């Protein structure tokens, strides 16, 4: 049975190996570096999250022999690691897929590679069952053939691409579950529906009745109060009967007499001038008639004076 499983693993990995080696960058927050000994820091890099469950161990050289440069770079965020792997996916005990074909890695400080030695990978749960372990071992054997030229420049494009956006611990966190949303909609729908139908009409009727009663009563009382005041009528009668109107009446009569006198004088002047202009055109009978009319008018004017 074990031989059959191993053969299946080899066939699966060989099919993945035809696609070539792939690379994945991880941020420096995954690295745990120890004190420098003989120019090297021991390190471990445990990674557990979506699609990854492994631990890398080894030694990394101290840049320029300084025991603090690498530690300061991790704090500043300028250190990251790049893992080389043969694509080999195994199902974990949680029924999720995990990458198990890791076989080598490199650490970078400010985009400059730092020498690494004695690298070893260990699978972590839930991706550490027998099937996943066999796939990881076979992938390590396949990838070992390319270790000599892996970091020499042939794969710089792929390494640069993955180094631009290294994975962080936050990226590997599983998405939050969403089962609570399904239980929320039913209760509010039942409680809200009947409330507006029963309360709305009752509130409207009460408000209308109260407003009509309150407004009608004070208006009648206020209008009846000013009605019994009769003093205003007495004042109007006194104003109508005023003695001044009797004095005004004789004044215009005198003015009328004066006007008549003036008109009579003007007529006399006109009568004296008219016959001089028209005597030539008028007949003898008309002259006599006009002379008689003048005499009568003159007699009436003398009587009036």
pLDDT in single tens digits along all 305 residues of the chain: 444 444 444 444 444 444 589 999 999 999 999 999 999 999 999 999 999 999 999 999 999 999 999 999 999 999 999 999 999 999 999 999 999 999 999 999 999 999 999 999 999 999 999 999 999 999 989 988 888 889 988 899 999 999 999 999 999 988 777 766 566 666 666 555 555 555 555 555 555 555 555 444 544 444 444 555 555 554 454 444 444 444 445 555 555 554 444 444 444 544 444 444 555 555 788 888 888 888 888 887 776 55
Helix, strand, or coil here: 177?
A: coil
Structure tokens at 4: 């059959």
User: 139, 103 in Cβ contact below 8 A?
Assistant: yes
What's the rounded Cα separation, in Å, for the pair 82 and 151? Answer: 10
The helix, strand and coil proportions of the chain, stated in percent and rounded to the nearest 5, come to 55, 20, 25
Cα distances from 152 to residues 88, 106, 157, in angstroms, run 24, 12, 12
Q: How many residues does the chain have?
A: 305
Annotated domain spans of the chain: 2-164, 231-304
User: 47, 24 in Cβ contact below 8 A?
Assistant: no
Give me the pLDDT at residue 135, please.
92
**E strand intervals along the chain:** 22-27, 32-33, 40-49, 52-61, 79-85, 89-91, 97-99, 102-109, 112-114, 116-123
How far is it between the farthest Cα atoms of the chain? 174
What's the rounded Cα separation, in Å, for the pair 8 and 93? Answer: 19
Helix, strand, or coil here: 195?
A: helix
């Amino acid at each position: 049975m074990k031989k059959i499983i191993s053969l299946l693993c080899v066939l699966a990995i060989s099919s993945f190996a035809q696609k070539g080696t792939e690379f994945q960058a991880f941020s420096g927050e995954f690295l745990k570096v120890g004190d420098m000994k003989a120019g090297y820091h021991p390190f471990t890099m445990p990674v557990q999250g979506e699609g990854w469950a492994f631990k890398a161990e080894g030694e990394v050289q101290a840049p320029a022999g300084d025991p603090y440069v690498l530690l300061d770079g991790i704090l500043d965020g300028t250190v990251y690691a790049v893992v080389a792997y043969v694509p080999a996916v195994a199902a974990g005990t949680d029924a999720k897929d995990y990458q198990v074909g890791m076989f080598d890695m490199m650490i970078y400080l400010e985009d400059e590679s730092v020498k690494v030695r004695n690298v070893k990978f260990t699978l972590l749960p839930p991706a550490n069952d027998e099937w996943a372990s066999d796939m990881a071992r076979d992938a390590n054997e396949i990838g070992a053939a390319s270790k000599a030229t892996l970091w020499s420049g042939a794969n710089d494009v792929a390494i640069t691409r993955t180094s631009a956006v290294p994975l962080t611990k936050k990226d590997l966190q599983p998405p939050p579950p969403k089962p609570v949303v399904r239980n929320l909609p039913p209760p509010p729908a039942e409680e809200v529906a009947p409330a507006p139908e029963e309360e709305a009409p009752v509130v409207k009727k009460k408000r209308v009745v109260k407003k009509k009663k309150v407004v009608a009563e004070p208006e009648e009382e206020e209008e009846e109060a000013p009605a019994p005041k009769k003093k205003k009528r007495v004042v109007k009668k006194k104003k109508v009967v005023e003695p001044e109107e009797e004095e005004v009446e004789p004044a215009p009569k005198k003015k009328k007499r004066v006007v008549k006198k003036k008109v009579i004088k003007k007529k006399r002047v006109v009568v004296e001038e008219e016959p001089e202009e028209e005597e030539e055109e008028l007949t003898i009978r008309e002259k006599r008639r006009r002379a008689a009319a003048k005499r009568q008018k003159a007699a009436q004017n003398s009587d009036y004076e």
